[in-house]
Structure 1
Amino acid sequence: MTLLRLRKLARDLWATRARIAMMTIAIAVSVLTVIAFLSARAVIGREITRNYADTHPASATLHVPGGVDEAALAAVRARPGVLDAAARATVPARIRVGDGPWRVLVLFVSSPADPQRINKVAVEEGSWPPPQRAVLLERTALDFLGVHTGQRVVVQAGGGAPAAMTVTGAVHDGGVAPAGQEQTAYGYTTTEALAALGLPGTLDQVRIVVGDHSTAADDPSVIDRTAQRVAAGLKAQGHPVSGIDVPPPGRHPHQGQMVMVGFVMLAFGLMALLLSSVLVATMLGGMLTAQIRQIGAMKAVGARTGQILRMYLAQTAAIALTATALAFAPGLALGGVLAGQAARLLNLDIADASPPGGVYAVALTAGIGVPLLVALVPLVRGSRITVRQAIDDHGADRAVPGGRLERVLTRLRGLGRTRMLALRNMFRRRGRLALSVGLLAVAGAMFLTGLNTADGWNSLVGQGIRQRSYDLEIRLDRSYPADRLTALARSTPGVRDAEGWGRTATTVHHPGRVDVAHVYPDEGHDSFTVMAPSADTRMVHLPLKAGRWLRPDDTGAVVLNNLVPGQQAPGVGVGDSITLTVAGHPVTRRVVGIVSDFGTLGTAYLTDRDYAAITGSPGQAEMLRVVTGRHDAATRQAVLDRLERTLARAGVGIQQSTTLDTLRVALDGHVLVLADTLIALAILMGFVGLLGLASALSTSVLERTREFGVLRTLGATGSAIRTVVLTEGVLTAVLSLMFATVATLPLTRVFGNFIGNQAFRQDLPYEFSLPALALWTLFTLAGAAVAGTAAARRASRTTVRQALTTV
């Protein structure tokens, strides 16, 4: 490029420095958003996998009711395909701090001599192994319980007597979910503590790592075959295996949530890239429009189209490079903040906050490549303009005069001259109007879709609560007569109604094999349970997705909730048969219905009559559901405390007890990451859209300097000119609102259903948030007013002399 052309570019940049600065900021904000979204997604996706892998998770857990000796464990380790094995136990329990309520506790138990190579945890306070009457808690449980290291707590397990224990430290377990999300505390202790809890010191689980050489297997079929061979070997040694748990290999229990967060970040990142492209096209089009006469003059003195195109591409590249450089560090910083927030919500440690190289490549493409690519359209069109076209240019599309739109506008009455002028000015540059409206409409659609989807998550939680017509749920340590349980409950002050339900863990049975469940070591995530309410139960009202609910005379029927076909029995549907192991007995039942059951893990519903026939124990129940007289949180907790004392005096052992409020907190916790992410990203997208509107209005004012000068010569006041510009901006915003609202209707359905089915295997309730629409309307109109005010002030100050000297 010649020195003369460089001087021309430099003078252009200085002469239009305000516009160039705005273009640079607009591109930088868009690139910053892309970098932040993609880097946060990449970091969290990598770190959740690393955190889980650092625990060296067991590939499979074999349940051996009688436990195993060291010789049997050594034989397991020596088997082909087994990298390591350890004997463990998982004990469901309860924990209480002071006079507070009982909370759910899962105790992970191992031998004091266990080298902790499998499902290992990082001790952050205290030391391993803990003393005899002590327990280490997962670090998120400290805040959840309101306890600190060295404090005494009360633990009860297996229906035994409560025992005092000391919290001697805290650990980080990358294989469990945060305690607050699950409303469950996780504890780590040794077999020596079991005696204090009145339990035998038997380690009834064999956890194995399956793999070849030093690499753990990630193929479920390989893990399954190896686990079945190990089970056969243990049986031959006199240690029969009752079941096998094979969780999804290498996947954290909340990996699905993280995948959805990543998907949302990727989707919004791509939308930010789209907005960046529209911003570039809008602003470059305006810049070239202002220089049409200059291009005509250069053509008149012999400049070729290619020379002009290269000159303006170089200018665009300089702007894009500057914007990308400005955006890189803040984008990475914001991405780190987003990743850190997600890590806190998911209980992750971030060892490396730097994103992978692919993010940098995408950022450079977004910041430099996309603007250059988008710039080709207006730059090629502008560089091809002829000298005659440049002389004839008057700042409006050729199709406007006499067109259908012009005829419609001329028929409008009652708007006044100023508003009519603003309305007609909007359509002078239809292409730019389309880009400005499209830019703001895309931002608005994503803003509304994000908040609508967040409302859908919250509505799903509310739906899950409304389906439950009980206030308290108490799981017992074994079966008790249902009539006795309900009588005890109804005799407790504050209880209005109660039902005893059958409940037990189950698995899908395949003849000739040990049953395999896909549950995680916490025995909660992806678990599968049989529940047996009476067919006319008043405690739940589950919406049918297919088929029907149970009838009182059903003895060969089962109703599955929506999680079972995806997790436990892929492909099963209404009319199919499914064989389940219930209380040690394989039973085949026909699926008569599938229900939506948000908030409950995989569940198969049988009638109480059928359940009694299978278990051989009619009139027995393992779970109590209770309706209280009042339904506020304080009343529920007070009634639960009284009912627990009543049951304890009657010799009924309690394994777990929760209120409906605790369930709501847990459900809210599971959607909190997604909902918060959607809201944060929606706000960022809204800011990008408003910045685009401000850029478009400023560009419009700058290129119409001559027009405003002419208006001043005709007697227009500064106030009238300001009104024209402000009205034009507000009308543009209103038009974008209409398009955004229409686009949001299908987007909310598609987006919500996709991530709802990916995360929870059911559609999200369709919610259109009127507060979100009101908020976006306020933001848009206020943003248009603010952006228009600056542009209007500049326009109203234009003198006739300035208009005449503008090139």
Structure 2
Amino acid sequence: MRWTFLKAVNDIRRRKIRSLLTVVGIFIGVAGIVAIVATARNLEEAQRYNYANASQDDLRWWVWNNTETTEYAISQLSNVAAVQRRASYVTKFRAGPDWFDVTFYGYADYASLKVNKLDFVEGRPPAKGEVAFEQSTRDLVPGLKIGDQVIYRYGPNNTEARFTISGFVRTPSSPSAAILNFTMGYTTESDVQKMLGIPGDNEILLKVYDLASRDETRREVENIFQKRNLQYGGFAARDPDNFLGKQELDTLVLLLLAFSGVGLVISGFLVANTLSAIVTEQVGEIGTLKALGAVRRQVLEVYFITALLYGAVGSILGVIGGFVLGKFLMGYLGTVVNFDVNRFSFQPEALYLGLVVGLGVTLLAALVPAWSGTSISVRQALASYGINSTFGQGWLERGLARLRGLPPLVALSLRNLARRKTRNLVTFGVVALSCAAFLAAQSASTSVGTTITELYDIYGADGWVQFGTLQSDNFAERLKTVDGVVASEPWSRGRLTVKASQVDLYGVPYDTALYQKPVVEGRWFEANENNVALATTSLAAAKNIKVGDTIDVEAGKVRGQLTIIGLLEDNSKYLGSTSAGKLFTSYQTVERLFRHQGRSDFFAVSFTAHDKTSVDRTMAAIEARYKDLTPSTLAAYSDKASAQQITAILQIMLYAMVAIIALIGGIGVINTLTLNVLERRREIGVLRSLGGSNARLVQIFLVEGLMLGLLGFVVGLALGYPLAAALVGIIGENTFPLTFVFDPGMILLTLFFALALSGAASLLPALGAARVRISATIRYG
């Protein structure tokens, strides 16, 4: 064992650059896996920590004008651990010329919060006339600081008032305001009650002992509301294993793991190439060892120890680097979902996985070259030297020799690549996987972006207007009188329970011009057609709903039935949505279900101009005209921008992984061409003695690298399409169905990527070849 270990160490030390490149490849592959697994586990722990330490609400209701007596009555229920009243008001604020959406929350005493505790990261709790903003508000409105004044609107006439900023808080499990395109501000209870125009609060939040009994607790609480004749609704139950944006984060982590797996496979190829080169170089030594009595097991032991040393060093460094990288990744993603990420902890699972995968892939990759190399007989080993004497006799070499019309450099490079078929084939694989990953990343990000554009194109509205009180459906005609408004329609919306799942319900006119009616099966509803609906294809697939089915629906206390007359290809979801899909019906049907026939508080509007400035100007005109009705507006571009923010995060992370994979691929090309240069030093010396210039030598190896890139690109196309389809499928399965995009522009860009990668990686060994001296090559061997 001792001599085999010493020989393995000596082999590694003899080729320092090659060994370094191999270790770096393993390091990158392992670091990627460890970083992603550690980040995913820490995100889960951060969610549990935030849930436990912020005492996030389990149950929540909108309860108009509730008082302390209601809070006390609820606190006496056996399953209630804590009750918290608060006042909330949705409006807009500005610190400059632009208005932003905000929800103000008012608490009586910030020091004694029992549910949804806040972490003041800067400043102090607000006094009367002050506000503490969610910390990510500064991503939405850069430059905000303590002491600044902001203007907000409230009341029937949209009266403007001022708040002074007293601090900034972290709101548990609320994504960044820049992603949501709205924010939260915390002020005094009396300030929000003034906005509402009531002496009490309008929300009640509960923390319960036993989540399994929450349905019974809900009934008990709502009985209290009914006995006190309180208006209530908007019930929401929190899933402790979920948080806003978790589904999207889980999808991102899954994609990153897939790309890390590709990187690790490429690292395995590097090990295989390195071991193959060592074995090829040492064929004579293998023959000598066998002649001296060494058995195959002992010779195999040498190369497995070599692989184990590569794997151990690369894996240990990869684990360390992975945890460091995971800390930064956790910081970035934690900021996105607004978690306290200062508690990044060591994850044993990531350590074990990194070591097992790193060592396992390395040893597995070493198996084939070690086994094939040690199978050679003593006679063959001692008689072998350099390039095989049968070179040029195989079908590949003969085929390349018949090629005519190729530039001399290209022809020479192709024939040189055929001299080490296995090594260069593995390198083709490395480049091919890098190209496939790049192609898949392009396809995935483009597919998401294209789908978002298509989904928003289904909605022809430039925005939506919601009023504080219900208005007649005919109010849509009044909205058309506002300068810049060309179309307005009464819409209705709500949440239904269908087959034990939450479903988003939309009511639109039968002849709507602001919804494109993407019917893929069945038909659209007609005028005066009641109790019929169209389901989105995602809902139909999830709940096994077919055209012609009659489904039971529940909206609070109201139960009814809807007959499905068609299916729609409209499967978009908002951030954090737990909805199984959508139902579309007439707005009259929705109004009947929710008991406000002939009245709506939600209107879709379309404008003469669709650019951001014009949309904002027209929205402001609507708000000014009807300020006594407390309108709130949502621009379609703003909603779309929120979705594109999430897409941008996906793109950043995907291309970061592609960059890592490309780095490993580049190392593979450098490794291969460096080996080629070392093996052909005599040829280089002969070329130089015949007058070959440095530039010509650089060109030879540079073209070899480019040919590796070109051939790898061809194979990468074959791998890239199914990989892209798989990634798009993963995203679609976990978010919403995507339109698969795979266009010629991506192929051309991937070709450029392959040539740039292989060309850049070829420069170092090519320049090394140019520095080889004739005298050194004469003494070589």
Q: TM-score, normalised by structure 1?
A: 0.87
Aligned pairs (5 A) from 1:432-443:
432-443=423-434
1:393 partnered with 2:395: no
Measure the CA separation in 1 of the matches of 2:232 and 2:22: 68
- Of 467, 490, 501, the residue aligned with 1:476 is 467
Report the CA distance shift for 1:577/1:286 in structure 2 as closer, same or farther (over 3 A).
same
Q: Which amino acid aligns with 2:45?
A: R
**Deviation by residue 1:571-610 (Cα, 9 ceiling, x = unmatched):** 5554433444569743321233343152667553221343
Partners in 1 of 2:750 and 2:172 — Cα distance? 39
Asked if 2 retains the 8 angstrom alpha-carbon contact of 1:289 and 1:703, the reply is: no
* Aligned-partner SS, 1:479: strand
Amino acid at match of 2:421: R
| Residue of structure 2 in register with 1:508 after alignment | 497
- Please name the residue that 1:94 is paired with: 91
| Partner Cα distance (2:634, 2:198) in 1 | 27
Q: Secondary structure at the match of 1:23?
A: helix
Residues 98 and 153 in structure 1, CA contact (< 8 A), matched pair in contact too? yes
Alpha-carbon spacing, 1:573–1:676, altered in 2? closer, same or farther (3 Å): farther
Matched, 1:491 2:481: yes
> Is the 8 Å Cα contact of residues 42 and 355 (structure 1) preserved in structure 2?
no
1:354-373 equivalences under 5 Å are 354-373=345-364
Tell me the residue number matched to 1:447: 438
Residues 84 and 30 of structure 1: is their aligned pair in 2 closer, same or farther, counting only changes over 3 Å?
A: same
- Indicate whether 1:624 and 2:603 are aligned: yes
2:148 alignment counterpart: 151
Q: Secondary structure of the residue that 1:351 maps to in structure 2?
A: coil
Quick one: distance in 2 between partners of 1:751 and 1:54?
36
Matched, 1:683 2:674: no
Instruction: Find the aligned partners of 1:89 and 1:577 in 2 and give their Cα distance.
Output: 40
Q: 1:424 to 1:621 in 2, by over 3 A?
A: same
Whether 1:608 aligns to 2:604 is no
Counterparts of 1:74 and 1:564, CA distance in 2: 41
**1:54 is matched with which residue?**
53
> How many angstroms does 1:116 deviate by?
1.5
Mark the runs of 5 or more structure 1 residues left unpaired by the alignment.
Answer: 511-515, 519-527
Which of 342, 349, 365 is 1:374 aligned to? 365
Match of 1:522 in 2: none
Name the CA distance, whole Å, in 1 between partners of 2:611 and 2:446.
Answer: 23
Q: Match for residue 248 of structure 1?
A: 239
Which residue does the alignment assign to 1:524?
A: none
Q: What do you get for the CA RMSD once the two structures are aligned?
A: 3.3
SS at match of 1:429: helix
**Distance between the aligned counterparts of 1:728 and 1:238, measured in 2?**
83
Q: Which amino acid aligns with 1:169?
A: G
Aligned to 2:167: 169
Q: CA deviation at 1:437?
A: 0.8
CA positional deviation for 1:706: 4.7
User: Does residue 668 in structure 1 map to residue 635 in structure 2?
Assistant: no
1:26–1:163 Cα change, 3 Å: same
Q: Secondary structure at the match of 1:679?
A: helix
Distance 1:99 1:647, change over 3 A: farther
The answer to whether structure 1 residue 538 and structure 2 residue 513 are counterparts is yes
Measured after TM superposition, the shift of residue 417 of structure 1 is: 5.0
Mapped to 2, the partners of 1:84 and 1:612 lie a distance apart of 36
Query: Kindly tell me: are residues 248 and 671 of structure 1, through their superposed partners in 2, closer, same or farther at Cα, counting changes over 3 Å?
Result: farther
Q: 1:801 offset after TM fit, Å? A: 6.2
Query: Would the alpha carbon gap of residues 319 and 354 (structure 1) be closer, same or farther in structure 2, given more than 3 Å must change?
Result: same
CA distance in 2, matches of 1:175, 1:19: 47
- The residue number in structure 2 matching 1:525 is none
Deviation at 1:52, TM superposition (A): 4.1
Tell me the residue number matched to 1:703.
Answer: 679
Residue of structure 1 aligned with 2:314, choices 317, 323, 327: 323
Kept in 2: contact 1:418–1:720 (CA 8 A): no
1:186 corresponds to: 184
Aligned to 1:270: 261
**Measured at CA, do residues 505 and 112 of structure 1 come closer, stay the same or move farther in structure 2, by a change above 3 Å?**
farther
Give CA-to-partner distance per residue, 1:418-450, whole Å, 9 cap, x none: 433321222233222221111111121112211
Residue in 1 that maps onto 2:764: 790
Q: Structure 1 residues 40, 704: closer, same or farther in 2, change over 3 A?
A: farther
Q: Secondary structure at the match of 2:629?
A: coil
Query: Post-superposition shift, 1:686?
Result: 1.4
Q: CA separation in 1, counterparts of 2:56 and 2:356?
A: 39
TM-aligned CA deviation for residue 118 of structure 1: 1.3
1:136 is aligned to 2:132: yes
| 1:32–1:786 Cα change, 3 Å | same
CA contact (8 A) 2:432 2:716 kept: yes
Aligned equivalent of 1:590, options 550, 560, 563: 563
Q: Is the 8 A contact 2:255 2:727 kept in 1?
A: no
Structure 2: tracts of 5 or more residues without a match: none
Please give the secondary structure, in 2, of the residue aligned with 1:630. coil
Match of 2:118 in 1: 121
**Cα separation, 2, equivalents of 1:617 and 1:244:** 19
In 1, the alpha carbon distance for the partners of 2:36 and 2:85 equals: 43
1:550 is aligned to 525
Correspondences of 1:59-98 after superposition (within 5 Å) = 59-65=58-64, 67=66, 69-70=68-69, 72-91=70-89, 93-97=90-94
Summarize deviations over 1:208-229 as a string: whole Å, max 9, x none: 22334xxxx3x5xx43344334
Query: Structure 2 counterpart of 1:54, which letter?
Result: N
CA distance in 1, matches of 2:661, 2:110: 55
Counterpart pick for 2:281 among 290, 294, 302: 290
> Are the counterparts in 2 of residues 65 and 242 from structure 1 also a CA contact under 8 Å?
no
Q: Which amino acid in the other structure matches residue 23 of structure 2?
A: T
CA–CA separation in structure 2 for the residues paired with 1:422 and 1:299: 36
State whether residues 565 and 571 of structure 1, in contact with CA within 8 Å, keep that contact through their aligned partners in structure 2: yes
Does residue 658 (structure 1) correspond to residue 634 (structure 2)? The answer is yes
Partner of 1:633: 612
- The count of aligned residue pairs is 773
Q: Which is further off, 593-602 or 292-301?
A: 593-602
Asked if the contact 1:175–1:252 (Cα under 8 Å) also holds between the matched residues in 2, the reply is: yes
Conserved? CA contact 2:685–2:774, under 8 Å: yes
* Aligned position for 1:24: 23
Cα gap change, 1:634/1:718 in structure 2, threshold over 3 Å: closer, same or farther? closer
Pair 1:459-2:450 in alignment: yes
How many angstroms does 1:337 deviate by? 2.1
Shift of 1:624: 2.6
Which residue of the partner structure matches residue 429 of structure 1? Answer: 420
Measure the CA separation in 2 of the matches of 1:398 and 1:355: 55
* Structure-1 separation of matches of 2:743 and 2:46: 34
Measure how far apart 1:350 and its partner are: 0.7
The superposition leaves residues 597-644 of structure 1 with CA deviations (integer Å, 9 ceiling, x where unpaired) of 526675532213434555676654322322222221111111222222
Measure the CA separation in 2 of the matches of 1:11 and 1:204.
76
AA at the equivalent of 1:652 = L
Counterpart residue number, 1:727 = 703
- Cα 1:678–1:707 change in 2 (3 A) is same
Note the C-alpha offset of 1:699: 1.6
The change in CA–CA distance for 1:159 and 1:673 in structure 2 (over 3 A counts) is farther
1:155 alignment partner AA: Y
Within 2, Cα distance between the matches of 1:188 and 1:573? 47
Structure 1 residue 709 displacement after superposition:
5.3
Q: Deviations over 1:193-250 (max 9, x none)?
A: 23421421333444322334xxxx3x5xx43344334434665676686563223233
User: What is the rounded CA distance, in whole Å, between the counterparts of 1:68 and 1:798 in structure 2?
Assistant: 88
Q: CA deviation at 1:184?
A: 1.4
Letter in 2 for 1:586: R
Contact 1:62 1:231 in 2 (8 A): no
With the length of structure 2 as denominator, give the TM-score of the two structures: 0.89
